[in-house]
Amino acid sequence: MSALERRGYSLVSFGEGADVMIINTCTVTHRADFQSRQMIRRAHRSNPQSLIIVTGCYSQVEPEEIERVEATAYLLGNKEKLRIPDLLPLMQKGETPKVQVSDIQEERLFEETALPSFYYHTRAFLKIQDGCDARCSYCIVPHARGRGRSLPPGRVIEHLRALKGRGFSEVVLTGIHIGSYGIDLNPASSLEELLKSLEHEETPCRIRLSSIEPLDFSRGLLSFLISSKKVCPHLHLPIQSGDDEILRKMNRPYGRSLISELIHELHENLPEASLGADVIVGFPGETEERFRRTYDLIESLPLSYLHIFPFSRRKGTPASQLPQQVSEGEIKKRAGLMRQLGKRKRQAFYRQSLNKELRVLVEDRRGRETDRWRGLSRNYIPVLLAGRGSERGADWVNREWTVRVTRLEENGVIGEVVER
């Protein structure tokens, strides 16, 4: 958005009659495709005069499907998305082709996006990696994003310095496969090397990592994470299944014993850390017994929360052709059971923080019902400030405070700021 703002465009709310609407689509599941088509129609209904530009992963993978949605004026692939500021004046004059989607598999360079221009926010997201060279049998992402490519370490440091300069206290390093960071660079680098260098650079005081594949936890990365003062004790692992046969069919290069050892090792060395996991339920061939095996493994592990993904049959992936597809009703039932388990794990994790102190970054927003200031602990617990904290004004915001947890809530905890 900041690149567009620099060219004189300004952001208005949905429904305020924008001249141009840019819809950035996702294609990770069938539902995401459906929601993207719905959003295009909704945008058109809200303002039929608006120029609708559709881009993102669904555009990249299934441009013909989007073309059939009449409201679409222009359709751009993931590479072309980054050229919107240049293309927009031409699109407004009708001087470019309606569909521009180039072959993302040919892309070798990491395309940087401009840093966000918004102020007063506490947390920024910095994409350090894009694409993926793995071929998990259910996943459409490599088709939509192309080969793995990384932002060079020097540029990561420059971006982080700039984010610190703009007042951000936390940055989340994101990517499609950040554990593979740096292997495409010349000279090659790694996530471990990058994080080690960031520890002594000028960056926002908290660095959070998006998900890391189980096999990407090298010995070196593990021992660095245990000692780091900057990287938050919050790790998210896409474990996907706890059954060896299903993992093999998913083309995931590890088994249940590796998952179990890794999660236990992380928990032993970082006992306060939030350990999250992605799990896919209803993968083809997942019998009741295999599902149970996954469920029992996850139940036994010291995980803090789960993200559950009902298997979605994506056209063009090997898993969509596998026999023994699980019925929708069964997938729904298993997803429900796993979500219940995830809820219990989350509650148990929050309970462990009761009467303890957390380092909480207070955000510039308040709880919807209580009007209390909200924050997030280093180990990913949402905290509402009670007592004197709630009476203080905006000077709480965007600073890290020590907070003693006094009460549990369904979706987080309540705590009091401990002033020292």
Contacts with ligand SF4 by CB under 6 A lie at 132, 134-136, 139, 141-142, 176-177, 213
Residue with Cβ nearer ligand SF4 (251 or 402): 251
Structure tokens at 141: 């992402």
What is the smallest separation between the CB atom of 17 and ligand SF4, expressed in angstroms? 38
What is the smallest separation between the CB atom of 274 and ligand SF4, expressed in angstroms? 21
Residue with Cβ nearer ligand SF4 (33 or 363): 33
Structure tokens at 219: 């010995």
What is the smallest separation between the CB atom of 345 and ligand SF4, expressed in angstroms? 22
What is the smallest separation between the CB atom of 401 and ligand SF4, expressed in angstroms? 36
Contact yes or no for 382/351 (Cβ under 8 A):
no
User: For residues 9 and 5, what is the distance between their CA atoms, to the nearest angstrom?
Assistant: 5
Residue with Cβ nearer ligand SF4 (170 or 213): 213
What is the smallest separation between the CB atom of 217 and ligand SF4, expressed in angstroms? 14
Residue with Cβ nearer ligand SF4 (148 or 153): 148
Query: Which residue in the block uniquely carries the two structure tokens 């007592």?
Result: 387
Residue with Cβ nearer ligand SF4 (301 or 319): 319
What is the smallest separation between the CB atom of 283 and ligand SF4, expressed in angstroms? 12
User: For residues 242 and 288, what is the distance between their CA atoms, to the nearest angstrom?
Assistant: 13
Distances (CA, A) of 379 to 74, 235, 267, 271, 389: 42, 9, 12, 10, 20
User: For residues 55 and 85, what is the distance between their CA atoms, to the nearest angstrom?
Assistant: 13
Would you tell me how many other CB atoms lie within 10 Å of the CB of residue 410? 8
User: For residues 31 and 65, what is the distance between their CA atoms, to the nearest angstrom?
Assistant: 14
Structure tokens at 284: 């083809």
Would you tell me how many other CB atoms lie within 10 Å of the CB of residue 168? 25
Residue with Cβ nearer ligand SF4 (141 or 259): 141
Residue with Cβ nearer ligand SF4 (146 or 153): 146
Would you tell me how many other CB atoms lie within 10 Å of the CB of residue 346? 20
Backbone angles phi, psi at 47, to 5 degrees: -155, 90
Contact yes or no for 242/338 (Cβ under 8 A):
no
What is the smallest separation between the CB atom of 213 and ligand SF4, expressed in angstroms? 6
